Amino acid sequence: MAWVDGIRGLKTGRGGAMPRRRGDEVAFLPAALEIMETPASPVGRAIGGTIIAFFTLGLGWSWLGHIDIIATASGRIVPAGRVKVVQPLESGIVTAINVQDGDHVTAGQALIQLDSTTTTADRDRVAADLAQARLDVARLTALRAGIAGQPVAAAFAAPADAAPILVERARAATLAQEAAQRAKVAALDQQIAQKRAEAEEVAVTTAKLTASIQLLDQQVEMRRKLMEMEYGNKLSFLETQQKLVESQHELTAQKQRAEEANAARLALEGQRAQAVSDYGHQVLEDLAAASQKVAEHSQDLIKADQRLGQQTLTAPVSGTVQQLAAHTVGGVVTPAQSLLVVVPDDVPLVVEANIDNKDIGFVHRGQDVEMKIETFTFTRYGLVRGHVLDVSRDAVTPERDTAGGSAAQRAGGDPEAGARDHPPSATPTYLAHIALDRTTLMVDGHEEALTTGMAVTAEIKTGRRRVIDYLLSPLGEYVHDGMKER
């Protein structure tokens, strides 16, 4: 290749640099000289400079630029007051179903009727017991008035709602009881009068004997003196003395009889007073017991009426019936089983979202939210904006359905169904309610209303940060956690 070196020498020799060849001249040179004479392409330098420029711009933007920090939460659209679940208090048999899914109902309207045979019988029994207790109070009140000297018949005042036949029975029982007491007292009064008359008779006899004894005593004394003077007959003296002794014995017997009569009279008077006192005490005790029964049966009647009323399941609010679970007349329902829900009318819709533990510390009331409605693709129909209304203060396990009923209730009252939907190991979350700025979306040229139960993905703006912080945060985690594994 000496000729190549010679040519190179001509280019760089003492004679000075050769002028740059034109493009057409270079094209006719040998291949090696063509490569040497062709200048380097500027594209490489341009690409390198562009990369460096973009890197510099990106680094500057990552330092100066900020992006939103988003907490993503899933949830559902619910009424602001939540849907109202209709449940029976106790087991029962369905006798009538008055509504279907989608029906509009008003507050208090009967929805489902349960068999009320047992509860009606219990209510009637309690009502009968209460009526009887009230009649007992009226009867005993009249008897108490009779004790005070008032007419019993006039004092008897039966309740206005009492059955006439029961009133007549109670009136007859009152008069009979009062008559029996009067007869008992009258019998004692008669015995007392007899003893008093007997005592008076004995007193008269005693007075006669006392006077007779005085005369006989004088006769005995006179006959003794005559006999001492030998004028009298001893036999007559002895006969007179015998009459005196007999009269004295009779006087002693009459005095004993008088004491017995007085003692018997006093005993009878005591019995009379005791009978009157016992009768009064018994009437008062029975009146207190009857009043207590009235109070107890009144409360029992309230409970019985409540149980009877609960056999008719009514709408708690005006709204639309959904999720009707009872479809068979004669079917059995269980306590707390969700039979249907009522979506209230004229209440605003909100989103009930589940906030993860890792995000709850940054979610606060008033933060802006963008929501993607699962039913309507957000890339085509747009987002719905809103703001956070409130956040729960405690975590809850995701057992409750965000529409207002538990999974067990949605499964027809089967608690195992709820356990299958949400296993015990489910991570607790915090509930947040989000207000919607609008409740419609423009879908294919017309407004489409958002409805209860639609699934939503909420993106809550919790703050802003530099782009470089976002890019370097994974590296920071790796550096912190690296070389620590087991």
256-276 tens-digit pLDDT: 777 787 888 888 888 888 888
Q: What is the pLDDT of residue 26?
A: 60
- What is the pLDDT confidence band of residue 35, given thresholds at 50, 70 and 90? low
User: Looking at residue 40, what DSSP letter applies?
Assistant: P
pTM value? 0.61
Share of residues in the chain with pLDDT > 70 (%): 79
Sort strands 319-322 and 312-314 into parallel, antiparallel or unpaired.
unpaired
Higher pLDDT, 403 or 116: 116
141, two tokens: 């009140």
Report the 10 Å Cβ neighbour count for 66: 12
- Do residues 16 and 28 lie in contact, with contact meaning Cβ atoms separated by under 8 Å? no
Give the Cα separation of 220 and 241 in Å (integer).
6
Count H helices and E strands in the chain, helices first: 13, 16
Q: What is the pLDDT of residue 421?
A: 44
- Do residues 421 and 407 lie in contact, with contact meaning Cβ atoms separated by under 8 Å? yes
Q: What is the pLDDT of residue 38?
A: 65
| Residue among 279, 85, 307 nearest 182 (CA) | 279
Say whether 380 sits in a helix, a strand or coil. Answer: helix
Q: What is the CATH number assigned to the segment(s) 69-81+347-481?
A: 2.40.30.170
Q: What is the pLDDT of residue 2?
A: 45
Higher pLDDT, 230 or 14: 230
CA torsion angle 11 13 18 24 (round to 10)? -20
Share of residues in the chain with pLDDT > 90 (%): 36
For 145-194, how does the pLDDT look when each residue is reduced to its tens digit (9 = 90+)? 888 888 888 888 888 888 888 888 888 888 888 888 888 888 888 888 88
242 Cβ partners below 8 Å, 6+ apart? none
Q: What is the pLDDT of residue 32?
A: 66
Give the Cα separation of 290 and 282 in Å (integer).
12
The listed range with the strongest mean pLDDT (174-183, 191-200, 293-302) is 293-302
Give the Cα separation of 264 and 272 in Å (integer).
12
Higher pLDDT, 239 or 302: 302
Average pLDDT, the chain: 81
214 Cβ partners below 8 Å, 6+ apart? none
- What is the pLDDT confidence band of residue 431, given thresholds at 50, 70 and 90? very high
pLDDT of 17 over the 70 cut: no
Q: Which helix (H) or strand (E) holds 445?
A: none
pLDDT of 485 over the 70 cut: no
Q: What is the pLDDT of residue 355?
A: 94
Q: What is the pLDDT of residue 417?
A: 40
Q: What is the pLDDT of residue 441?
A: 92
* Phi then psi dihedrals of residue 234, to 5 deg: -65, -35
Q: Out of 95-104, 153-162, 327-336, pick the least confident.
A: 153-162
- What is the pLDDT confidence band of residue 33, given thresholds at 50, 70 and 90? low
User: Looking at the domain 86-114+312-340, which fold is it?
Assistant: OB fold (Dihydrolipoamide Acetyltransferase, E2P) (2.40.50)
Q: What is the pLDDT of residue 11?
A: 46
Give the Cα separation of 150 and 346 in Å (integer).
65
What residue spans define the domains of the chain?
A: 2-60, 69-81+347-481, 86-114+312-340, 118-309
Sheet (strand 332-333) strand order: 312-314, 110-114, 92-97, 332-333
| Residue among 399, 458, 400, 403 nearest 426 (CA) | 399
Higher pLDDT, 224 or 409: 224
122, two tokens: 């219990």
- What is the pLDDT confidence band of residue 406, given thresholds at 50, 70 and 90? very low
117 Cβ partners below 8 Å, 6+ apart? none
Q: What is the pLDDT of residue 384?
A: 94
Q: What average pLDDT does the segment 407-415 reach?
A: 38
- What is the pLDDT confidence band of residue 305, given thresholds at 50, 70 and 90? very high
Give the Cα separation of 120 and 111 in Å (integer).
19
418, two tokens: 């709820």
Q: Out of 50-59, 427-436, 449-458, 468-477, pick the least confident.
A: 468-477
> Can you spell out the DSSP letters for 207-223?
HHHHHHHHHHHHHHHHH
Amino acid (1-letter code) at residue 321? V
208, two tokens: 């006669």
Q: What is the pLDDT of residue 422?
A: 46
* Phi then psi dihedrals of residue 84, to 5 deg: -100, 120
